[in-house]
Amino acid sequence: MVKRLIIPLILLFTCCFRHNDALYIFFSSPWHNLSPYGTPLPPEYQARFTLYEPLVWVKVNGYIPALAKSWVTIDDTTWVFHLVTNAVFHDGTRFTAGDVVYSFKNYMEKNPDEKRNFYIKSIVPLDSFTVKFILHRNNPLFLPMVSSVPIVSKTLEGTGPYFLYSAKTDTIILKRFRGYRNPVPFEYQYIISIGDAEKRVEALSGVNYGVAFRINPGINMDKLPGGLNTRRVKTYALKYIAFSNPGRLEKEIRHIIYYATRKLDFTPSGEMIYQFVPLLSNFYSPVIEDSLENLCKKASIKPLKKPVTLSLVHWITIKNEGEMIKNALEPYNINTKLISVNNIEEWMKKIKQADMFIITVFFDPNDIVGVWLNVFEEFVNSKRIRNYLKGVKPESFIELKKNSDRIQWMLFEEMPLIPLYNRVETMVYTNNISFETFPEQFIPFYSIKKK
């Protein structure tokens, strides 16, 4: 019954509110918080970076202007951003350099774990539309990190192409902001959460313009309506396992994971995947399960002769994955004790006491070296990584991508750090729209086009 009501309910929204010119985006996960701060879920990403804008946008092959029309590096530690002069917030107030200063300072206060990664020493407004960032040290990843900071007013208004029109349990409705400085492709944007993949595609077939994320290719395609455009997306996920003190463990543990992971076929993705947050969502849970349990079987790894107890420290947000690792290691006579943490300070304290720890990231070298480097350096010599990155231009995502395997193995030699790698294929269904940016967490409004 619920399945039959999905399309009529969506059509009812369109009819009653006359939102014929609307883009519908169907996600698998629900939304919880529309704040510009904190770690958002995919629907919240879509809303956040439609309501708010950063200084620059990240694309597959570089960067494009957002609230900064241009930027220059004076030296290794000085960045100057020249801002657009015609942006206004949703309440009608004018956007200026002072809002950039406020946004970054407020963002650092709300996200203390990220403050150390920016290396920002000071932010100085040179005039109403020019702002200078002075860093403590060279940060080759400064520009992509800047793209993750939403610019807000002191009343937390945004400058994005849409403002918040309505927010219900499973549906967020955004409406076009008439004061936006650039063309906007749709009058409304619906962000709808539907857990079942088949129902997401069914709902998509009932709207004029839309996209449905994360459609597992294993579902029964015969039940799905025809006439929709499909896009097969290869998503690469990495799980790193590092030993903070290998001497405390029996040698066999390292052999199990090492030989199992070396059986993986490491082939970098054909597209750059940029992620703001290095966390593994529940969608990728089968990756971890396959990487440990099935790969150990493929590698013909036998259980240890003597049982070993292993302490595993992980982020509280990936508890399910921790349980999978625990279950996967159990047949090999490895008893795993899970330790959950939810902040950097607690993480650092526990990690130094643990036999082993895990880090979960997507296939993006910027996440690996950018977010975690400062944490590593307190107990790991990362000098070689920094020396390598000094030779990489800040704008060069492609250069980082070409050498991503080199970065990984440098990390492996330093940590040592072992990659668990696998690939997940999913389907993205679209209806009368196209977009040029890789659709992982959200579709940037600037890349959406009507067919």
Q: How far apart are CA 362 and CA 234, in angstroms?
A: 12
Q: What is the pLDDT of residue 288?
A: 39
Q: What is the pLDDT of residue 448?
A: 81
Q: What is the pLDDT of residue 60?
A: 53
Q: How far apart are CA 347 and CA 435, in angstroms?
A: 38
Beta bridge partners of 80: 72, 132
Q: How far apart are CA 218 and CA 202, in angstroms?
A: 16
Q: What is the pLDDT of residue 372?
A: 40
CA angle 285, 288, 291 (to 5 degrees): 145
Cis peptide upstream of residue 217 (ω within 30 degrees of 0) = no
Question: Mind listing the pLDDT tens digit for each residue in 86-137?
Answer: 999 999 999 999 999 999 999 988 877 666 667 899 999 999 999 999 998 7
Q: What is the pLDDT of residue 352?
A: 58
Question: Mind listing the pLDDT tens digit for each residue in 38-97?
Answer: 767 778 888 988 999 999 987 655 678 999 999 999 988 999 999 999 999 999 999 999
Could you tell me the two tokens for 379?
């107990």
In the chain the domains, ranked by start, together with CATH numbers, are: 2-51+160-227 (3.40.190.10), 56-146 (3.90.76.10), 234-424 (3.10.105)
Q: What is the pLDDT of residue 230?
A: 65
Q: What is the pLDDT of residue 38?
A: 72
Q: What is the pLDDT of residue 35?
A: 86
Q: What is the pLDDT of residue 174?
A: 95
Ranges of the chain whose pLDDT falls below 50: 1-18, 234-292, 295, 299, 358-425, 439
Q: What is the pLDDT of residue 187?
A: 94
Contact yes or no for 173/167 (Cβ under 8 A):
yes
Tell me the three state secondary structure of residue 360: strand
